[in-house]
Amino acid sequence: MSYYFTSESVSEGHPDKIADQISDSLLDNFLAFDPESKVACETLVTTGLTVLSGEVKSEAYIDVQDVARKVIKKIGYTKSEYKFDADSCGVISAIHEQSPDINQGVERESEEEQGAGDQGMMFGYATSETENYMPLALDLSHRILQELAKMRRENDKVQYLRPDAKAQVTIKYSDDDKPEAIDAIVISTQHDDFHYEDHTMLERIKDDLVNILMPRVIATLPDNVKALFTDEVKYHINPTGKFVIGGPHGDTGLTGRKIIVDTYGGKGAHGGGAFSGKDPSKVDRSAAYATRHIAKNLVAAGVADEVLVQVSYAIGLADPMGIYVNTNGTAKVDKSDSEIAQIVGKIFDMRPAAITKRLKLKNPIYSDTAAYGHMGRKPEIKEVTFRTAGQKRTLLVETFTWEKLDYVEEIKKEFGL
């Protein structure tokens, strides 16, 4: 019997995502000028106000208000009618120094024995149903909003678009867990308050999103995914009608409230820890990236069609409490999931310092992760420049290192593939 699965994404202008992007931009600036910075930044955004809080231990001095305003401006909140804009919103900082009680559990004389910054469990997931080894419903949701943001910035036929938006995709699956068709797509986008003589506001927006946005999205997809878009797809565009009041004026935004959007859209599992604003000594972030790296390389190597990896830690201890692997019955090797987990533990050093070194996580690479998902993105090497408080630093960094398929050959060798 077939079934349906749904995932959603939110745009860079969603209030929670504004908060994530500010938090990660603060982190990047601290790391750019001091790679050993310990950072846990939280952001709140609401009508006319941004509040920065959290704990930092760093040799760098950062103009945090300037960093926050630059992020808000880049996203597109630049008009006073939004009731939240880069130039006029208040920015309050309540950032203070990291607790020495936490710090003593993390730092060690030997860097390799660095302890985990907290207890907890982290999950990584990968599936063969898409080219980037992500669940299809979430991948499509991200793509829709990324293309919508491009259209907004082009400012051509859709000048009325404002930054806040959400997308949701429902997929029909077959008995053998294969996508059969796109069943429904929901898109809610903030817009200017306007009226056209020949169309109502809702009709114009629906027509533009179905006939301009979606063909642009579909054109970027591989043929097997394009085939899932039939004439039977149900589109729900701004189903409540008017969506003028949005962004931080419509809803207060907080760092870390979109952890399912950030990861796998409800597929696999999640340990509960948010990512944005946290340096890599926080295993909530670094170990979640490391387990995604493992899961993706296992699937790409042909060990299984679907892999869920869990790792857990105790605060202050370097070695994980355990590594768990679940292939959901899709394993292609003659080994149990527990045997696969044992081999994974031999291939991948999961101590926090080893993860940080392997994935190059002390670099300022996190702003790019803070919208449209931390997983499934394309790794690239690029030059980045940071300017704050009269300082300037230009660095060459590698982004989304946990998405690299750099362990496939080693895994094949270990599994005899």
Q: Is 349 in the same domain as 299?
A: yes
Same domain for 198 and 231?
A: yes
Number of residues that this document lists for the chain = 417
Q: How confident is the model at residue 112 (pLDDT cuts 50, 70, 90)?
A: low
The total number of structural domains in the chain stands at 2
Range of the domain at 371: 120-128+267-273+280-415
- Looking at the domain assignment, is residue 317 inside a domain? yes
Could you tell me if 225 and 291 lie in one domain?
A: no
CB neighbours of 355 closer than 8 A, spacing ≥ 6? Answer: 280, 283, 286, 287, 289, 290, 349, 361
**Of residues 349 and 388, more confidently modeled:** 349
Query: Rounded to two decimals, what is the model's pTM?
Result: 0.94
Is residue 48, in this structure, part of any structural domain at all? Answer: no
Residues 286 and 408 in one domain: yes
Question: 147 and 124, same structural domain?
Answer: no
Identify the band that residue 240 occupies on the pLDDT scale cut at 50, 70 and 90: confident
- Residue list for the binding site for L-methionine: 55, 98, 251, 282
pLDDT at 115 over 90: no
Residue ranges of the annotated binding site for Mg(2+) are 16
Extract the annotated binding site for ATP.
14, 164-166, 242-243, 251, 257-258, 274, 278
Q: Is the pLDDT of residue 103 over 60?
A: no
The answer to whether residue 100 scores a pLDDT higher than 70 is: no
Binding residues: 14, 16, 42, 55, 98, 164-166, 242-243, 251, 257-258, 274, 278, 282
Q: What six digits make up the tokens of 220?
A: 């970027």
Strand partners, 237: 187
In a shared domain, residues 289 and 235: no
- Is 143 found in the same domain as 124? no
* Confidence category of residue 390, pLDDT binned at 50, 70, 90: confident
Mean pLDDT within 218-245: 94
Q: Is residue 72 part of a domain?
A: no
Q: Does 410 map to a domain?
A: yes
pLDDT over 70 at 106, yes or no: no
Describe the crossing of helices 64-75 and 15-33 by its angle, rounded to 10 degrees.
130
- Is there a contact between 398 and 381 (Cβ–Cβ < 8 Å)? yes
- For the cut 90, the answer to whether the pLDDT of residue 199 exceeds it is no
Residue 263 confidence (pLDDT): 98
Comparing CA positions, the residue from 358, 401, 410 lying closest to residue 382 is 401
Q: Is position 214 within any domain?
A: yes
Residue 91 lies in a domain: no
The binding site for K(+) comprises: 42
On whether both 239 and 328 belong to a single domain, the answer is: no
Residue 28 lies in a domain: no
3-state helix/strand/coil string of the chain? CCEEEEEEEECCCCHHHHHHHHHHHHHHHHHHHCCCCEEEEEEEEECCEEEEEEEEECCCCCCHHHHHHHHHHHHCCCCHHHCCCCCCCEEEEEEEECCHHHHHHHCCCCHHHCCECCCEEEEEEEECCCCCCCCHHHHHHHHHHHHHHHHHHHCCCCCCEEEEEEEEEEEEECCCCCEEEEEEEEEEEEECCCCCCCCCHHHHHHHHHHHHHHHHHHHCCCHHHHCCCCCCCEEEECCCCCCCCCHHHHCCEECCCCHHHHCCCCCCCCCCCCCCCECCCCHHHHHHHHHHHHHHHHHHHCCECEEEEEEEECECCCCCCEEEEECCCCECCCCCHHHHHHHHHHHCCCCHHHHHHHHCCCCCCCHHHHCCCCCCCCCEEEEEEEEECCEEEEEEEEECHHHCCCCHHHHHHHHCC
302 and 378 inside one domain: yes
Same domain, yes or no: 144 and 172: yes
Tens digits of per-residue pLDDT, 347-385? 999 999 999 999 999 999 999 999 999 999 999 999 999
Q: Do 206 and 165 belong together in one domain?
A: yes
Report pLDDT for 182.
Answer: 97
**Which CATH number do you get for residue 182?**
3.30.300.10
> What are the CB-based long-range contacts (under 8 Å, 24+) for 304-308?
304/328, 304/330, 304/331, 304/332, 304/333, 304/340, 305/127, 305/128, 305/330, 305/332, 306/125, 306/126, 306/127, 306/128, 306/330, 307/125, 307/126, 307/127, 308/123, 308/124, 308/125, 308/268, 308/269
- Judge whether 54 lies within some domain: no
Bridge partners of 235? Answer: 185
Confidence of residue 331 (pLDDT cuts 50, 70, 90): very high
Are residue 208 and residue 332 in the same domain, yes or no? no
